[in-house]
A and B are shown apart, each in its own frame.
Chain A
Amino acid sequence: MSSGPWWHGLAPAEVTVECSGAAHSVRWEHGRLCALAHPDVEGEQALSALAGDRPACLELLGLWSRHEEDPRVLVAASRGPGDPLVAWTGPPSRWVGFAPLQGAPASRARARVRSLARTGPRLVAPGPPQRRTAEEPDPLVDLANLAGPLFDYLAGAVAAVWAERLLAGDDRVPPHAAALDTALFGRVLMAVRAWTGDPALEVTVETAGVGDPPSISREDDRVVAVLPFSWLSRVWARGLAVVLGHFVLAISEDAAGVLRLDAAGSLGTRTVITIDVGAAAAG
């Protein structure tokens, strides 16, 4: 048994981007974001750098890649089904400031990225120029407003990056330890409350050390969950935190794509659930 890629089993997702005067698809699949209308991304990036006008599809890819390791994504993103984000078309009082200047190519491209609504893939023309402030907008707003589950997928990718770094003892982890702990806490809290059906349940989350077994138990009037940070990418990001009324503590996977879920049916009991998602395609 192995762990397999964190994204294995997640459905592909697409957004439509107004790019170079046409409607282009940007697709997330196998853990990667691809601009389908731009097969030679590196070549086009070089050309666009010279021309000073970056296609909106590449702008989105660049924005995505700049945040694939950003722990702030875990603060902004949803903690699960009970924590939906809303489409935010502004003007946001403190991050406004996104104001494409007429004739500024990069800003135009960014405006098009921003125009992707969470409500579903659709083509939206950039609005009229807004008041420009001295403050740079927070680019996470653009990513959070992406249609469908893309921002959730980005959160999964961020969690996977930091889980690997934790496992490797990477010295980039300690400065972000508090942020990572909190990211795990919020998602476990929401999942446990959904699992138990008690929205006010007190939950203590302890981040398990490498090699420590995961567990969930009741102590007095609260639930104590001991889970590794990798639970976020391995379990939660795949939408498998609660399966068939069970709280999933860990997942292992064989080469044929059978997921073996180590789950708690109730506090104090453990069971195994298997799901066949097929072999993982090459990422």
Chain B
Amino acid sequence: MGEPGDPERYLRMLGERALLEAEDSGPFSGPLDRAAAALVAVGALSEQLAGSVVADYGLACALRGRRRAWAWPRGAGAVVPVPFAPARVLPGPIALTVQGWEMTVRWVRFGDDQTELAVSGRRAAGRPRRSRTPSTGPPPSLQVADDRGTSATCHFSGGHGDGDFSGTFATATPLSADTAWLDVSGQRVELPVASTPRAEVRVEPLPARPAGLGYLWHELAVSDSRFHRPGGETSAALDALVAVGAVDADDPEVKALVQVGAALQGGTGARINAPPGLPEPWAAFLGQGSPAASGADGVTGVASAGVVAGPVDGAYVGIDAIEAQPHGFSVEVVVSPGTALRARFEGVSGRAIEWWAKDDLGVLRLGHVGDSGGSRGKMRGTVEFTPGLDAEARMLHIMPTGRTERAVVSVVLPWADAPSAAQDP
């Protein structure tokens, strides 16, 4: 009946073998999902049909008591991207002492649905303890109020241990973005007058690429497997595209892609000898050698951006702030639809965003999504980049990248004495 090269038949056979040969894809997206997304990306299958096949085999797995890749529910439908206003971000540091905890508020973000305080701290020295063992508990929740009379409880989310912590306190309801002060558990904190963020935004098309190879590079950039499960996902996509004739397995670029994929396992900090013939930005990324700030000597500071770019291949991207640390920097982002933020949540659409960043010293970085939360409609998250920013860097170009276009958000780094002339990334 079905033709051997038929994409649907290929996908179903992949699902059948995975089901019967007891491959447990675990909580992250599995080979079937990734093969399906690849086939959709090159137009070999409709998103609806591919999604149905994945959902049917997901049900079959569940009926056998097996885990399956997390996915949105069957029939959940497409999500419409919704434009949103940029958040106001006030850089810290703001020092507080709350219930025996010394806290440093690194930044405060006033979003349209919640207010977040990024805080690090430790248990104050000399605080009496009931136990001789070090405290491993989290810091207490904070009660935060604005000058409009709105008050909210902020619960901690993040890491803690041995008396230290670092994370965010978030309100369930937003506080006023225009408030002149915050009352944090009884301590009034005058907020600095926010300077206007110096950021420029543009959206530009990407050079046309062959659909199959273009998708494989895209998946390599967004795949969680770089960090959690080496090998499987790009291999599944590559096998699927070869099977339906969308990619030639003997193409030198395919071999280069496999080589790069293997080298990237374990994170974006890896440096390899770039194979010849790589497309951009991979050639630049892999060909730059070890950046100057490759260790833990990057600059520290917070830069607010407060811009929304897009749509970029159907997604709106908010860049709220950049927080630089010695070992790297993170970018606080908001994305609508939320499914575009995380590759493993986006189903089979293949529309997850790649996160590239380049400073004005020419160092190009590939980011990955760390913490994230929200809904299918809109998610916020932290995109993490290494290495840290050199103290000489004056501008950072953050480039949320889709498959056909990208945004370039150019942010002047406020700790630099003066911005250099804006340069294209």
- Note all chain B residues with C-beta closer than 8 A to A116: none
Are B71 and A94 in contact, CB atoms less than 8 angstroms apart?
yes
- Note all chain A residues with C-beta closer than 8 A to B64: 83-86
Min Cβ gap B230→A in Å is 24
| Complex Cα gap A166–B2 (Å) | 13
Which of the 9-residue segments A13-21, A45-53, A133-141, A246-254 touches chain B? A133-141
Which of the 9-residue segments A72-80, A124-132, A219-227, A233-241 touches chain B? A72-80
Contact with B along A165-183 (1 / 0, CB 8 A): 0100000011001111110
Are A72 and B56 in contact, CB atoms less than 8 angstroms apart?
yes
In chain B, positions 1-34 with a C-beta closer than 8 Å to chain A are 1-2, 6, 8-9, 12-13, 15-16, 19-20
Q: A86-B64, A180-B1 are in contact. Are A140 and B59 (CB under 8 A)?
A: yes
Min Cβ gap B21→A in Å is 9
Across the interface, A94 reaches (CB within 8 A) one of B2, B9, B13, B58, namely B58
Which of the 9-residue segments B72-80, B190-198, B291-299, B391-399 touches chain A? B72-80
A158 on the B face (CB < 8 A): no
Are B13 and A182 in contact, CB atoms less than 8 angstroms apart?
yes
Are A190 and B73 in contact, CB atoms less than 8 angstroms apart?
no
- Note all chain B residues with C-beta closer than 8 A to A173: 1
B415 on the A face (CB < 8 A): no
Across the interface, A144 reaches (CB within 8 A) one of B2, B8, B63, namely B63
Q: A133-B73, A179-B12, A182-B9 are in contact. Are A86 and B63 (CB under 8 A)?
A: yes
A9 on the B face (CB < 8 A): no
Are B20 and A88 in contact, CB atoms less than 8 angstroms apart?
no
Q: Which residue from chain A places its CB closest to the CB of B71 in the assembled complex?
A: A94
Are A135 and B13 in contact, CB atoms less than 8 angstroms apart?
no
| Complex Cα gap A11–B88 (Å) | 70
Are A88 and B13 in contact, CB atoms less than 8 angstroms apart?
no
| Complex Cα gap A86–B20 (Å) | 15
Min Cβ gap A91→B in Å is 11
Are B1 and A181 in contact, CB atoms less than 8 angstroms apart?
yes
| Complex Cα gap A141–B58 (Å) | 12
Min Cβ gap B250→A in Å is 24
In chain A, positions 35-81 with a C-beta closer than 8 Å to chain B are 72, 75-76, 79
| Complex Cα gap A12–B72 (Å) | 39
A189 on the B face (CB < 8 A): yes
- Note all chain A residues with C-beta closer than 8 A to B56: 72, 75-76
A207 on the B face (CB < 8 A): yes
In chain A, positions 94-139 with a C-beta closer than 8 Å to chain B are 94-95, 97, 133, 135-136, 138
Contact with A along B61-98 (1 / 0, CB 8 A): 01111000011111110000000000000000000000
A278 on the B face (CB < 8 A): no
- Note all chain A residues with C-beta closer than 8 A to B70: 93-94
| Complex Cα gap A207–B6 (Å) | 15
In chain A, positions 179-231 with a C-beta closer than 8 Å to chain B are 179-182, 185-186, 189-190, 207, 229
Q: A83-B20, A95-B73, A178-B9 are in contact. Are A75 and B60 (CB under 8 A)?
A: yes
| Complex Cα gap A189–B60 (Å) | 17
Are B16 and A85 in contact, CB atoms less than 8 angstroms apart?
no
| Complex Cα gap A180–B13 (Å) | 11
- Note all chain A residues with C-beta closer than 8 A to B62: 88, 92-95
Min Cβ gap A202→B in Å is 11
Min Cβ gap A145→B in Å is 9
- Note all chain A residues with C-beta closer than 8 A to B60: 75-76
Min Cβ gap A227→B in Å is 12
- Note all chain B residues with C-beta closer than 8 A to A179: 8, 12
- Note all chain B residues with C-beta closer than 8 A to A177: 1-2, 9
Min Cβ gap B49→A in Å is 10
Are A186 and B19 in contact, CB atoms less than 8 angstroms apart?
yes
- Note all chain B residues with C-beta closer than 8 A to A76: 56, 59-60, 63
Q: Which residue from chain A places its CB closest to the CB of B65 in the assembled complex?
A: A86
| Complex Cα gap A95–B71 (Å) | 10
- Note all chain B residues with C-beta closer than 8 A to A186: 16, 19-20
Min Cβ gap A167→B in Å is 13
B57 on the A face (CB < 8 A): yes
Are B1 and A207 in contact, CB atoms less than 8 angstroms apart?
yes
| Complex Cα gap A190–B22 (Å) | 13
Most chain B CB within a 10 A radius of its CB, from A76, A182, A186: A182
| Complex Cα gap A83–B22 (Å) | 10
Are A181 and B75 in contact, CB atoms less than 8 angstroms apart?
no
Are B76 and A182 in contact, CB atoms less than 8 angstroms apart?
no
Are B13 and A136 in contact, CB atoms less than 8 angstroms apart?
no
| Complex Cα gap A83–B16 (Å) | 12
Q: A72-B56, A79-B20, A186-B19 are in contact. Are A97 and B73 (CB under 8 A)?
A: yes
Are B13 and A141 in contact, CB atoms less than 8 angstroms apart?
no
Across the interface, A189 reaches (CB within 8 A) one of B9, B20, B71, namely B20
- Note all chain A residues with C-beta closer than 8 A to B71: 94
Are A135 and B8 in contact, CB atoms less than 8 angstroms apart?
no
Are B13 and A185 in contact, CB atoms less than 8 angstroms apart?
yes
Are B9 and A181 in contact, CB atoms less than 8 angstroms apart?
yes
Min Cβ gap A77→B in Å is 8
Q: Which residue from chain B places its CB closest to the CB of A140 in the assembled complex?
A: B59
Q: Which residue from chain A places its CB closest to the CB of B58 in the assembled complex?
A: A94
Additional 8 contacts, C-beta under 8 A, given A75-B57, A178-B6, A182-B16: A83-B20, A84-B64, A94-B62, A95-B74, A135-B75, A178-B9, A181-B2, A182-B9
Q: Could you write out 9 A-B pairs with CB less than 8 Å apart?
A: A85-B63, A94-B72, A133-B73, A136-B75, A166-B1, A178-B1, A181-B9, A190-B20, A229-B1
- Name A residues whose Cβ lies closer than 8 Å to a Cβ of B: 72, 75-76, 79, 83-86, 88, 92-95, 97, 133, 135-136, 138, 140-141, 144, 166, 173-174, 177-182, 185-186, 189-190, 207, 229
- Name B residues whose Cβ lies closer than 8 Å to a Cβ of A: 1-2, 6, 8-9, 12-13, 15-16, 19-20, 55-60, 62-65, 70-76
The 9 residue pairs across chains A and B that have the minimum distance between CB atoms: A177-B1, A178-B9, A182-B12, A135-B73, A86-B65, A178-B2, A178-B8, A75-B56, A177-B2
